[in-house]
Chain A
């Protein structure tokens, strides 16, 4: 680990660009809308199911193509996939996140986009999410996994 490695702005600008495009999709498809999330959890509209479902299908096909044709990164590196081992956290933590998602109408990505759209009070929600993350870090060893 090279902890003294400085942060390169030129290496990271590409992620800002992808983030911008992603944020625009979030806003224009109303994925950051509290109302669309309420419709989803009440089974009152197909919209969010269509968004998530088609995103998963496109993601799956893309990953399959990358593996099948052994596609490399633009720098010629082998693309690696990490496995996510099962833990009880996926159940307990998943339920906690579900509660929070329905309350705030936002998963972490939309929080950033919402602040950008001018919903300034969401800054408090983001800070609270950071505190929640910190609480998990402190309590981690005491929680069932």
Chain B
């Protein structure tokens, strides 16, 4: 059984489990599934920002911080007890494209050859890790949600603005991955 769990999980196992998070959070505490709002609560609780956007009682939303702390623990548990040493099974087209940018080690969840502390201080690393992170935080708050809040929770409750947001997430990602990222990875 443990051996089976250690294998990469197929989409038809993972997807329904993620979908079940929606009713679980509703039933255990009347909470709407969403993750990017945790970034807002971190700002409101830790940073001395005067903006009215952060003037609310973040303690009422503290469950969200406990939830993302759990996700962090889930990462530790998976890598400690459930890790699978086999390399990721990728589309050969992507493997050869990445090789052209000198990304040859695909053993981790992120390309360790660029996602490391040394590269962080190069232009390439700065764009990927710092600019990328900024866009994730800025974009998800501007859009009022991320993949969880809009694509999963929003679509589950048939909110058409969430469909608009989800399409824009995909359009932005497709443009970046196919037309801009190749230039950045070639730096």
- Chain A residues engaging chain B, CB cutoff 8 angstroms: 1-3, 5, 7, 11-42, 44-60, 62-63, 65-66, 71, 73-74, 77, 79-87, 89-109, 111-122, 124-138, 140, 143
Least Cβ–Cβ distance between A15 and chain B, in angstroms: 4
Known contacts A96-B139, A97-B140: A26-B35 contact under CB 8 Å: no
Q: Are A59 and B22 in contact (CB under 8 A)?
A: yes
User: In whole Å, how far is B167's beta carbon from the nearest beta carbon of chain A?
Assistant: 8
Given known contacts A95-B171, A98-B139, A137-B51, A55 and B109 CB-to-CB distance under 8 angstroms: no
B172 touches A96 (CB 8 A): yes
Shortest C-beta distance, A122 to chain B (Å), equals 7
Do B19 and A54 touch (CB < 8 A)?
yes
B interface residues, tally (CB under 8 Å):
129
Chain B residue nearest in CB terms to A127: B133
A133 CA to B108 CA, complexed, in Å: 28
Q: Which B84-116 residues have C-beta < 8 A from chain A? A: 88, 90-91, 93-94, 98, 106, 108-112, 115-116
**Chain B min CB distance to A110 (Å):** 8
State which of B15, B78, B131 has its C-beta within 8 Å of the C-beta of A103.
Answer: B131
Please list 7 pairs of residues, one from A and one from B, whose beta carbons are closer than 8 Å in the complex, sorted by A's number. Answer: A29-B11, A44-B93, A52-B151, A84-B145, A93-B143, A99-B132, A132-B139
Residues of B within 8 A of A79 (CB): 26-27, 30
Contact present for B76 and A94 (CB under 8 Å):
no
Candidates B57, B68, B130, B142; contact of A96 at CB < 8 Å: B142
B185–chain A nearest beta-carbon distance, Å: 10
Cα distance A14–B25 in the bound complex, in angstroms: 9
Give A16's nearest chain B residue, CB to CB: B70
CA–CA, A46 and B14, complex, Å:
13
Q: How far is the CB of B181 from chain A (nearest CB, A)?
A: 6
**Contact indicator A73/B28 (Cβ below 8 Å):** yes
